[in-house]
Amino acid sequence: MSQSHRIAGGQIDRGVALRFSFDGKSYTGHPGDTLASALLANGVRLMGRSFKYHRPRGPISAGSEEPNALVELRSGARQEPNTRATVAELFDGLEARSQNRWPSLAFDALAINDRLNSFFTAGFYYKTFMWPAAFWEKVYEPIIRRAAGLGSLSRLEDPDEYDKGFLHCDLLVIGAGPAGLMAALTAGRAGARVILADEDFRMGGRLNAETGEVGGRPGADWAADVVAELAGLPNVRLMARTTVAGAFDHGIFGAVERVSDHLPAPLPGKPRQTLWRIYARRSLLAGGATERPIAFENNDRPGVMLAGALRAYANRWGVAAGDRVVVFTNNEDGLRTATDLQAKGVSVVAVVDSRRGGPLLPGLRHLQGAEVVDSAGRLGLSSVTVRMADGRTEVIPCTALGVSGGWNPNVNIHSHHRSRPVWAEGIAAFAPGADGPAGLAVAGAAAGRLSTHGALLGGQAEALAALGDLGIPATAGDLPKAEDAPVSITPKWYVQGGKGRAWIDQQNDVTVKDVKLAHQENFTSVEHLKRYTTLGMATDQGKTGNVIGLAVMAELTGKPIPETGTTIYRPPYTPVAMGALAGRSRGKEFKPFRLTPSHKWAAEQGAVFVEVGMWLRTQWLPRAGETTWRQSVDREVLATRKSVGICDVTTLGKIDIQGTDAGTFLDRVYANTFSTLAVGKCRYGLMLREDGMVFDDGTTARLAPEEYVMTTTTANAVTVFRHLEFCRQCLWPDLDVQLISTTEAWAQFSVAGPNARRLLEKVVDQDISDAAFPYMGAGNITVCGGLRGRLFRISFSGELAYEIAVPTRYGDALIRKLVEAGEEFGAVVYGTEALGVMRVEKGHVAGNELNGQSSALNMGLGKMVSKKKDSIGMPLSQREGMVAEGGYRLVGVKPVNPADALSAGSHFLPEGAAPVLANDGGWLTSMVWSPHLGHCIALGYLKGGDQKIGTRMRAVNFMNKTDVAVEIVSPHFIDPEGERLRG
C-alpha cells in the first residue's frame, strides 16, 4: 500500500519500511512514525468513534493530549485498550484495531445515538429511567453499560513484566523542548546531577515540529546536538519515553519509562515499563503548552485538526494530513501552519483569521474577520463553510482544517499540589500560579513564555536559580539565537450563531449546547459544569477542551474567566499502566514469603502449607493412605495426646528484654505482674491496648534477674514490638531497659505429649526431669552436645509440653533430630490445624478470640488485670460499659446431639426464639472436630455466658442454613485441672 500522503522531509528513516495493520488492513510506515502519522501518511483519517454519539473521528493532535484517535493496540494477552495512536511508536508488525464501534469503524450501528442527540443532552439520564424502579438494574442500566466503555481488556494475565526504580538528582527537568534542553545543558555543564525526562521518544519538543532556527541551525538539529552533548555527560541521565506523571511531597516525582512499548515485545529480561520514584532536590517544569481549538458546528470530523498538529505532521513526519488545507486561527501562531505547509508544497486554499488586521502572507488567500461556521464530509472532512466578515458564507472544499485557538501552558504538574493557575491576559490562557510544589520552578511555554527565545532564556535562568539555591556554581553560557515573536491573539472560544452542535470535549461528546443547558439549569460552577456534562472527564482529561468549556460558561454567567476558575489538576499527567504502578508485586510475588526453619523438611515430607500473614506454616502432614485433611489432623492430635507431637512455633514473636528496669517495664506493659517472677520461670502474660481491650498474649520467661524473653502471637509480633518501643522511648525514656526482636533469631519447636520429656531427654544435654525443670520452668540449655539453646516448659495443647529453641540456622537440623529421636515413641509432627484443635480442646484463646474487640473480662481473664499497679490499658478497661454484667463471656460449646456439626460464626439464639437482633446472644468464635471427644466443640462469646454454663441454646448459621441445639459448657474441654501439664 502506498503512502499516498507522505511528503518530503521529516525525522523518519525512509530507508526502512515497517509493516503494520489497522482493522486488519496492512500498511507501511517508517521508524520515527507514530501510528497516527503512519495512518495519515497512508491517507487514513478515520481512526475512532466518539463515546456517546459514535461520531466518526480522526486525530486532532500529534501528542498525548489526543481525545479521538484511540485504538486497541496489539492482540491476545497484550491487548492494550485506549492507546493514543498519536503517541504509539510504530514498530514492525504493529497491530491495531479501532474500538467502541460495531460492526465496523466505517459503519457503526450506535451512530443512531447521533441521530437521537436531541434526547441525549447533558445529564438527560438523571431525569428519566426512574420508572418502574426495578427496571434500572434489569433493563436500562445493562443497555447503558453494554454501550459504554471504550476499548476492551483481554481478561488474560498480562504477560509482561514491570519494574520499579529509585533515582536521586539535583535537578529534575520535565520536558526536553527548548526550555528543558537549555536548562539541562546549563545544569549539566555545571556538573550537577541532572535528570531530563520527556514523554516523547525523540527529545526536542516543539523544535522537532517547527521550522524555526536555533543558533542559526534548524531547531531539531540544535536539539539533537544538545541531546548528544548531554548524553556524553556522566552526571546527566536522559530519559526519553518517560512521562513524569505526578508531583508528590518533598520533591518526589513519579515517572513512568516506557522501556519496551516501541518493540513488538520486551527484550528478554527487560520490563515493559518502569515506574521511577525520583527524588529531586530541585525540579523544573518545562512541559510546554497544548494548543486548543475553536469550537464551531461539526468541528469534529476526521481532518479537522489543531493547526500545530497539522504542521507537526508535515514538518516532523513528512505527512500532509490533507491535500487541500484550510487554516482557521485567532492568533499569529496559526499562520505558521499555512506558511509551513505552503513551503512544503501542500495546497493551502484559505487562511480564515477571526481577527481583522492581522499580517498577510504572500501567496495565500486570507479571509480576515471570518469564521468557519460548519463543515461537511461523512467519514472525513470534505469542505468547510466560512462566514466572511461581511456575513456572506462560502463553502470551501478541503480535506484538512488546521484550527488554532491559542496555546495553554501545561500547568498540570505545577498544580498537582492544588496550586490554582492564574489567567495570563497576554496569551489568553491559564499560566502557573503561586504555591506550586516546593522546589519546582517553571520555564518556557509551560510558564506562558511561548517564544523559542523565551523558552531558552527561561530554561537557562531557572537552571541557574536552582543551582544557586543548591550552592552549585554555574555560569550562563551563550544563549543561542531564536525567534522571539510576541504572542498576538484575540480570544475566540466558539463560533456564535449556529444551530447545530459545536464540540468542546470531543471524546465525551460535550458541546457548546451542553454547556448552555448546564448554565440554564444553574450548574454554573466549573465543578458542576464538569460533573453535569462530563466535560474534561475523558481519557484526555480535557487537555484541549476544558478551557473552552469554562470560557463559554464565563461568557454565559458574565463573570470573567479568571473568576470562573479551573477544576483541579490531579495526577497522573497522562494515564499510567496499572502494571507499572504494581511493578513486581503480583502473582506469587505479591508479598514476600516467610518460611519457617522446618519448611524444607516439611516440604520433603509432602506437607500442606497455609498462609499465616506472610508466613507459610505447615497446616498438616498427610501420610500415605490419608485421603482427607481430617484423617491427617485427627491422627496428629491423637498421637500427640497419646505419645508426643512436634510443631514448629518459630512464627511466634520473640522479644528479648534486658536492663535493670526490665521487670518494672513488663509490669507496666502487661496487665499482670512480672517483676515478681522467679528467675528460671515463665508466666502467661496478658497485654492490653491503652483502650483496655486485649492486645496480645503469650508467655514471658525470666532467664536472669535483668533478662526476660517475651513471646507474642504470630499475628502481633511486629505491632507488639512497635508498641513496646513506644512505651520505652516515649512514655518512660529513663527506664533502663533495652529491647530486641529475636523472632528470626531462634528456631523454636513445641514438643508436646506424655512422652515429650522422654523425647527431649535424648536431645537436651541437661537434666530436665520434673524436679530439675518443673512446670513453667525456663532456662538456657545446650542440645546435641553443646549447641546453645533455650527451653521453656509451657503448653498450648494442655499436655506435658516444652518449647525448645536453637539459633535459626540449626532449625532444620533440630527438626530432623527431634523426628529421629521421636521415632521410638511414634512421634508426629503436627501442623496449625492440629495446633488449633488442641488449643480449643484446652480452651486457650487465639486469633479468633483475640479480635481486638474483646476485653480480658470477655475472655474470662478479668482477674489477670491487676488494679494495684498502673499498666497500659488498665484504667480504661474499668469503664462502665466494659465491666457491666451480662457482657460477652468466653464459653465452651458442644452439640446436644454429638452427631451434629457446628460452624464458627454461628450465632447463639435462645431455644424457640425468633431470629432477630433482640435475641442475638453472641457467636461461635472457633470450632473444631475433637478426635479426643468424638464430636464438634467450639468456643464462643455469649452474653452473660459465665451465668449460662450448663444451659441449652441454639447455634444458628444462616450462611449454611444450620440450626443446632447446643449446650454451654466450660471452655476447658480436657484436663480442666491441668494435671497433664504438670505430669
- Residues between 650 and 669 that touch other proteins (CB under 8 A): 661, 664
Q: Is 806 helix (H, G, I), strand (E, B) or coil?
A: strand
Of residues 581 and 933, the one with the C-beta less far from other proteins:
581
SS (H, E, C) 752-768: ECCCHHHHHHCCECCCC
Ranges within 421-480 binding other proteins (CB under 8 A)? 438
Say which residues have a Cβ less than 8 Å from residue 569's Cβ, sequence separation at least 6.
Answer: 411, 412, 415, 416
Contact status: 931 vs other proteins (CB under 8 A)? no
**Which of 31, 491, 562, 579 contacts other proteins by CB under 8 A?**
579
Contact status: 863 vs other proteins (CB under 8 A)? no
Of residues 693 and 791, the one with the C-beta less far from other proteins:
693
Contact status: 531 vs other proteins (CB under 8 A)? yes
Say which residues have a Cβ less than 8 Å from residue 193's Cβ, sequence separation at least 6.
Answer: 168, 169, 170, 171, 235, 236
**Which of 434, 578, 771, 899 contacts other proteins by CB under 8 A?**
578
Q: Is 25 helix (H, G, I), strand (E, B) or coil?
A: strand
Of 342-350, 382-390, 583-591, 595-603, which segment contacts other proteins by CB under 8 A? 583-591
Contact status: 563 vs other proteins (CB under 8 A)? no
DSSP characters over 788-799: EEEEE---SSSS
Of residues 1 and 740, the one with the C-beta less far from other proteins:
740
Is the previous residue joined to 409 through a cis bond, with omega within 30 degrees of 0? Answer: no
Of 25-33, 322-330, 951-959, 972-980, which segment contacts other proteins by CB under 8 A? 951-959
Grid coordinates given for 291? 494548543
Give min distance, CB of 235 to other proteins, in A: 20
Give min distance, CB of 93 to other proteins, in A: 18
Q: Is 707 helix (H, G, I), strand (E, B) or coil?
A: strand
Of residues 77 and 476, the one with the C-beta less far from other proteins:
77
Contact status: 604 vs other proteins (CB under 8 A)? no
Rounded-to-integer distance, Cα 403 and Cα 330, Å: 9
Ranges within 504-523 binding other proteins (CB under 8 A)? 517, 520-523
Of residues 131 and 363, the one with the C-beta less far from other proteins:
131
Q: Is 17 helix (H, G, I), strand (E, B) or coil?
A: coil
**Which of 328, 407, 494, 923 contacts other proteins by CB under 8 A?**
923
Contact status: 732 vs other proteins (CB under 8 A)? yes
Neighbours of 295 (CB within 10 A): 28
Contact status: 926 vs other proteins (CB under 8 A)? yes
Contacts of the segment 846-851: beta carbons below 8 A, 24+ positions apart: 846/713, 846/926, 847/713, 847/715, 848/904, 848/925, 848/926, 848/939, 849/890, 849/925, 849/926, 849/939, 849/941, 850/694, 850/696, 850/697, 850/713, 850/715, 851/925
Ranges within 37-56 binding other proteins (CB under 8 A)? 51
Size of the residue set binding other proteins (CB under 8 A): 146
Rounded-to-integer distance, Cα 680 and Cα 703, Å: 5
**Which of 588, 628, 786, 934 contacts other proteins by CB under 8 A?**
588
Contact status: 64 vs other proteins (CB under 8 A)? no
Side-chain-facing half-sphere of 708: CA atoms under 13 Å: 28
Give min distance, CB of 159 to other proteins, in A: 9
Of 214-222, 362-370, 530-538, 770-778, which segment contacts other proteins by CB under 8 A? 530-538
DSSP characters over 252-305: EEEEEE-SSTTSSSPPTT--SEEEEEEEEEEEEE---EEE---B-BTTTSTTEE
Rounded-to-integer distance, Cα 885 and Cα 882, Å: 9
SS (H, E, C) 366-412: EEECCEEEEEECCCCCCEEEEECCCCCEEEEECCEEEEECCEEECCC
Contact status: 726 vs other proteins (CB under 8 A)? yes
The one-character DSSP state at 581 is H
Rounded-to-integer distance, Cα 235 and Cα 572, Å: 28
Ranges within 95-124 binding other proteins (CB under 8 A)? 100, 118-119, 121, 124
**Which of 4, 729, 769, 897 contacts other proteins by CB under 8 A?**
729
Of residues 571 and 944, the one with the C-beta less far from other proteins:
571
Rounded-to-integer distance, Cα 47 and Cα 743, Å: 60
Contact status: 885 vs other proteins (CB under 8 A)? no
Of residues 159 and 359, the one with the C-beta less far from other proteins:
159
Ranges within 663-722 binding other proteins (CB under 8 A)? 664, 689-693, 718, 722
Q: Is residue 764 within 8 Å of residue 804, measured between CB atoms?
A: yes
Say which residues have a Cβ less than 8 Å from residue 124's Cβ, sequence separation at least 6.
Answer: none
Say which residues have a Cβ less than 8 Å from residue 771's Cβ, sequence separation at least 6.
Answer: none
- Strand 681-688: give its sheet, edge to edge: 681-688, 694-704, 707-712, 653-658, 738-741
Ranges within 312-351 binding other proteins (CB under 8 A)? none
Give min distance, CB of 649 to other proteins, in A: 18
SS (H, E, C) 294-354: CECECCCCCCEEEHHHHHHHHHHHCECCCCEEEEEECEHHHHHHHHHHHHCCCEEEEEEEC
Ranges within 532-561 binding other proteins (CB under 8 A)? 532, 534, 538-539, 541
Give min distance, CB of 141 to other proteins, in A: 6
Give min distance, CB of 833 to other proteins, in A: 9
Of residues 624 and 918, the one with the C-beta less far from other proteins:
918
**Which of 608, 787, 904, 933 contacts other proteins by CB under 8 A?**
904
Q: Is residue 109 within 8 Å of residue 103, measured between CB atoms?
A: yes
Rounded-to-integer distance, Cα 121 and Cα 367, Å: 34
Of residues 1 and 731, the one with the C-beta less far from other proteins:
731
Q: Is residue 739 within 8 Å of residue 724, measured between CB atoms?
A: yes
Contact status: 527 vs other proteins (CB under 8 A)? yes
Contact status: 250 vs other proteins (CB under 8 A)? yes
Ranges within 789-848 binding other proteins (CB under 8 A)? 847-848
Give min distance, CB of 248 to other proteins, in A: 5
> Side chain identity at 311, as an amino acid letter?
R
Ranges within 362-421 binding other proteins (CB under 8 A)? 416-418
Of 241-249, 339-347, 481-489, 676-684, which segment contacts other proteins by CB under 8 A? 241-249
Give min distance, CB of 556 to other proteins, in A: 13
Ranges within 122-161 binding other proteins (CB under 8 A)? 124-131, 133, 136-137, 141, 144-146, 148-158, 160
Contact status: 582 vs other proteins (CB under 8 A)? yes
**Which of 267, 624, 899, 917 contacts other proteins by CB under 8 A?**
917
Of residues 725 and 979, the one with the C-beta less far from other proteins:
725
Nearest one of 78, 86, 85 to 272, comparing CA atoms: 78
Of 217-225, 638-646, 785-793, 877-885, which segment contacts other proteins by CB under 8 A? 877-885
**Which of 557, 878, 897, 947 contacts other proteins by CB under 8 A?**
878
Give min distance, CB of 591 to other proteins, in A: 6
Contact status: 26 vs other proteins (CB under 8 A)? no
x/- mask, other proteins, residues 204-233, rule CB under 8 A, reads ------------------------------
Grid coordinates given for 274? 518502569
Contact status: 905 vs other proteins (CB under 8 A)? yes
Give min distance, CB of 345 to other proteins, in A: 39
Ranges within 264-293 binding other proteins (CB under 8 A)? 272, 275, 277, 279
